[in-house]
Structure formats: C-alpha cells, structure tokens
Amino acid sequence: MITVNEALSQLFSLVGEMPVEKVPLAQAAGRVLARDVAATRSQPPFAASAMDGYAVRAEEVAKGAKFTVIGESAAGHGFGGDVRAGEAVRIFTGAPVPEGADFVVIQEDVSRISTQITITGDTGANSNIRPAGVDFAEGEVMTAPRILTAADLALLASMNIPRVPVRAQPDVALISTGDELVMPGEAPGPDQIIASNTFGLKAMLDAAGAHTRILPIAGDNAPAMEMAFDLARGADLVVTIGGASVGDHDIVAQVAQALGMEQSFYKVAMRPGKPLMGGRFGDKAMIGLPGNPVSAMVCGQIFLVPVLRAMLGLGRAPCPRLTARLAADLPAGGPREHYMRARVDAGVAHVFSNQDSSLLSVLSQANALVVSPQDSPARAAGADVAYIPLF
Ligand code: AMP
Ligand code: MG
C-alpha cells in the first residue's frame, strides 16, 4: 500500500498537459487560459468624459464663470475642433474630451441659456476625465494560466481579443461496473440499485474543467467491460468505478490488463478509498475508483480533481487544505489517512459521527473533509485540524 501523496505523484506522472486551442470569447467562461494575451489597444483609447456636462479649460473653472457652447461631443461622435478660452463643448459620458479642454463641469453645476452657460455650483477638484489608458494600456498582459472568470471575459473583450487560447478540455470516460446497477429512471430489479457515483463524479469533473462522458454500465463480465473500454477509446483519461476490490467479481484490473493497461499502483493507505488503482493505457491514463459511493467521491476530490488541474496546466499539487477548530474530541486515527465528512461553520469543524463509506446522505450534508493523518493521536475539542473544502 502506498500513501496518498505517493499515489498522487504517480498519477501526475501518467498525464501530460492538454493541447492549446482557440475558442470564441462567448465560449471561454470557466476555461483555462493557456498563454499570456496582450491588449491590442488601450482603454479608454482617448481621454473620455466620466460625466454628462461641459468640457472647458480647467484654469477658467470658477463659480460665476461664463462660456459659449461651440459644439457637442457624444459617445461614438467626438467634437472635431479645439476648445479655446471662454468656450465650452457639451459632452456626454464616454465621449472623447476635445483638444484644449481638460475639465468637465457636470451639468448639475451649470445653468444654460441658449448657447451661454454659467457655472453655478461648486465644481470641486475632480476633472471628471478618464485619462487615455487608465484601465489598461496597449500591450498590457493577462497572465496564464488562470481559470477565466466573468470579469476576465469582460476584460478580454475590452482588450479586443475575440478568440482566446485555452487548454483543450480533457475528455474523460466514466465507466460504472456492476451487475447490480441500473441508471436513474430505469426500473431496478429486486437485487439492484441505482448507479449514483457516476453522476456525482461527472458533476465534479466537469466543474474541474473536464468534458465527461458517462458510458453505458458494464456488467461484471469480461465481454461487457471490454465493450466499455472500447467505447472509452480516444479519452484522455479513463475512469472506472467499482470492481476494484478483491472479490470474485472484481475483474476490472484483470480485463484492463488483458487489453494492455500497465498498472502503476493498486491500493492506497486511505479511508475511504483503499482499492484505488492507477495505470497507463498506451499514452492515456486510467484510474480505477472504488465502488462505494463516498469512496468514489472522496477519491474523485483527492485524486481526479488535482490530476485534471495538472492536465489543464494549473500545476501539480494536492487539494489545498485549510484549518479549523474541532467542535468535539476526535479519537486516534489508524494506519490509513482518514478523510472524514464534516461541516465547517465559522472556523469550527463538526465531524459527522457516521463515517460509513456508503452514506451519500452524510456526504451531501458535508462541506469539508477533515483530514486525520496516518497514526494521528486523539485530539481534543478546540484543537486545530486540516480540512479540504468541498463545493
Ligand atoms: P465494488 O467496488 O464493485 O465491489 O462496489 C462496492 C460497492 O459500491 C457495492 O455496494 C456497489 O454496489 C457499490 N457501487 C459500485 N459502483 C457504484 C455506482 N456507480 N453507483 C452506486 N454504487 C456503486
Ligand atoms: Mg462491483
């Protein structure tokens, strides 16, 4: 049995970074920017008015000062001429500030009769002008890698980048195995249950940036599994669920090896999730998850999410951990690292009493996995513990 860290570094060695592709901005949300991109223009490209009002020369601004309005500058339609002493140009938000002007008096501080204006209010010191390039200058760079947020997309659009270089999404094939499984919505026989992990894992992996395909359930027989592996062909990562223990019907490794899978490890010193398997299928990776629903989901979080991040060029690191205080005493841990379902509220970790690896209802109430290291001593309420947030 190897440790969680050893298993993770072996898995990292099985995968490479995905190729780079360009996608339209409107499809880039949540994708991973693969290369630095530089602004192809400055924003704003000209000194722009921040308010509706009158553009004048700053040195003339004073209460009672009078000006003649000589024209208009609107957004998209600037004023071609100069502003000289005693002159003003009617201006609107986002419009270019005309040559000669360096102050915008807001319209609330002005009274106007025909083409004459008089400053009636206290204008203050703010010129109400956004200098050219105040947001960003041409050539300024958005750095990669990063997961593109809504704000990033707005910024890229403003930088005039219509197509964005991103990592291709890893194609993940998910194979559920077991004669007892049927899909949700089907009519299960008396000895059957509904395949559940598949859906939890698809949600988790897609949220981590994968394109996950749920393949038909494979029964516990070699031909069914061979067919499933055949359907998985072309995937960047093949993930099997179940059939990975040492029971008579646990034949996933056997079938995969007969098809050419080179196993790199089997069994990890962790709870839940001991029967985890990693291997190489040609130039692609295969990960065999345990079938118990919580084991599969915990292994998904601890191993698959970091592996996907590595494939997306986001670095090769385990899930980040935070610290909370124990709400109650925690007994000593065993020889396997234990990932305990817990709820962390306001920095306090409430570890659920029932940690059975089949209980999805408990996992669904949890928002954290409290990590109890190998052979950890008992800890008292109030002690600091490490946890991994779940989303
Ligand atoms: P196995 O690893 O195949 O022995 O499965 C361990 C346990 O997990 C058994 O109780 C299976 O019925 C259950 N199981 C396996 N795969 C799934 C799945 N996709 N959804 C829900 N339960 C599963
Ligand atoms: Mg099974």
244 C-alpha to ligand 2 centroid (Å): 8
Residue 183 shares a structural domain with residue 277: yes
Please identify, among 283, 311, 339, the residue that sits at the C-terminal boundary of a domain. Answer: 311
Point out the ligand 1 atom lying closest to the alpha carbon of residue 180. 12
Q: Is 140 left (phi over 0), alpha (psi -120 to 50) or beta?
A: beta
Residue at 158 is within a domain: yes
Residue at 316 is within a domain: no
Which residues have C-beta under 5 Å from ligand 2, the single-atom ion? 178, 242-243, 291
- CATH number of the CATH domain containing 37: 3.90.105
Q: Is the CB of 181 under 6 A from ligand 1?
A: yes
Q: Is the CB of 178 under 6 A from ligand 1?
A: yes
User: Which pLDDT belongs to residue 238?
Assistant: 98
Residue at 192 is within a domain: yes
Burial 318-354 (b: 16+ CB within 10 A, else e): ebeeeebebbeebeebeebbbbbbbbbeeeebbbbee
How many angstroms separate the Cα of 360 from the Cα of each of 13, 54, 101, 140?
A: 31, 65, 67, 48
Among candidate residues 180, 290, 287, the one with its CA nearest the CA of residue 235: 287
Point out the ligand 1 atom lying closest to the alpha carbon of residue 198. 19
Q: Is the CB of 290 under 6 A from ligand 1?
A: yes
Residue at 24 is within a domain: no
Residue 36 shares a structural domain with residue 144: yes
Ligand that lies nearest to the alpha carbon of residue 244, given by its number in the listed order: 1
CA 251 to the chain's CA centroid:
35
249 C-alpha to ligand 1 centroid (Å): 12
- CATH number of the CATH domain containing 263: 3.40.980.10
- CATH number of the CATH domain containing 62: 2.170.190.11
Residue 159 shares a structural domain with residue 178: no
- CATH number of the CATH domain containing 370: 2.40.340.10
Q: Is the CB of 243 under 6 A from ligand 1?
A: yes
Q: What is the dihedral of CA 48, 53, 55, 57, to 10 degrees?
A: -120
Q: Is 366 helix (H, G, I), strand (E, B) or coil?
A: coil
Residue 379 shares a structural domain with residue 366: yes
Residue 271 shares a structural domain with residue 173: yes
Please identify, among 311, 344, 363, the residue that sits at the C-terminal boundary of a domain. Answer: 311
Q: What is the pTM of this model?
A: 0.94
Residue at 103 is within a domain: yes
Residue 291 shares a structural domain with residue 354: no
- Total number of domains in the chain: 4
User: Which pLDDT belongs to residue 282?
Assistant: 87
Q: What is the pLDDT of residues 21-76, one digit of tens each?
A: 999 999 999 999 999 999 999 999 999 999 999 999 999 999 999 999 999 999 99
Residue at 177 is within a domain: yes
- Low pLDDT (below 70) residues in the chain: none
β-pairing, 48-49 vs 129-130, is antiparallel
Q: What is the pLDDT of residues 171-187, one digit of tens each?
A: 999 999 999 999 999 99
324 C-alpha to ligand 2 centroid (Å): 36
Q: Is the CB of 192 under 6 A from ligand 1?
A: no
Structure token digits, residue 54 = 């009158």
Counting Cα atoms < 13 Å in the Cβ hemisphere of 160 gives 12
Residue 270 shares a structural domain with residue 232: yes
Point out the ligand 1 atom lying closest to the alpha carbon of residue 241. 16
Pocket test for ligand 1, best of 197, 202, 221, 239 (most atoms within 8 A of CB): 197
Q: Is the CB of 4 under 6 A from ligand 1?
A: no
Q: Is the CB of 291 under 6 A from ligand 1?
A: yes
Residue 245 shares a structural domain with residue 179: yes
Residue 54 shares a structural domain with residue 123: yes
How many angstroms separate the Cα of 258 from the Cα of each of 62, 173, 175, 199?
A: 88, 19, 17, 28
**Helices assigned H by DSSP within 21-113:** none
- Largest interatomic CA distance in the chain: 96
User: Which pLDDT belongs to residue 169?
Assistant: 98
Residue at 115 is within a domain: yes
178 C-alpha to ligand 1 centroid (Å): 7
Residue 244 shares a structural domain with residue 326: no
Q: Is the CB of 240 under 6 A from ligand 1?
A: no
Q: Is the CB of 288 under 6 A from ligand 1?
A: no
Residue at 317 is within a domain: no
In sequence order, the 6+-apart residues with CB closer than 8 A to the CB of 122 are 63, 109
Ligand that lies nearest to the alpha carbon of residue 221, given by its number in the listed order: 2
Residue 273 shares a structural domain with residue 339: no
Q: Is the CB of 245 under 6 A from ligand 1?
A: yes
370 C-alpha to ligand 1 centroid (Å): 24
Please identify, among 290, 311, 332, the residue that sits at the C-terminal boundary of a domain. Answer: 311
- Structural domain boundaries enclosing 275: 4-17+169-311
| Amino acid identity, position 229 | F
Residue 294 shares a structural domain with residue 341: no
Protein residue closest via CA to atom 18 of ligand 1: 195
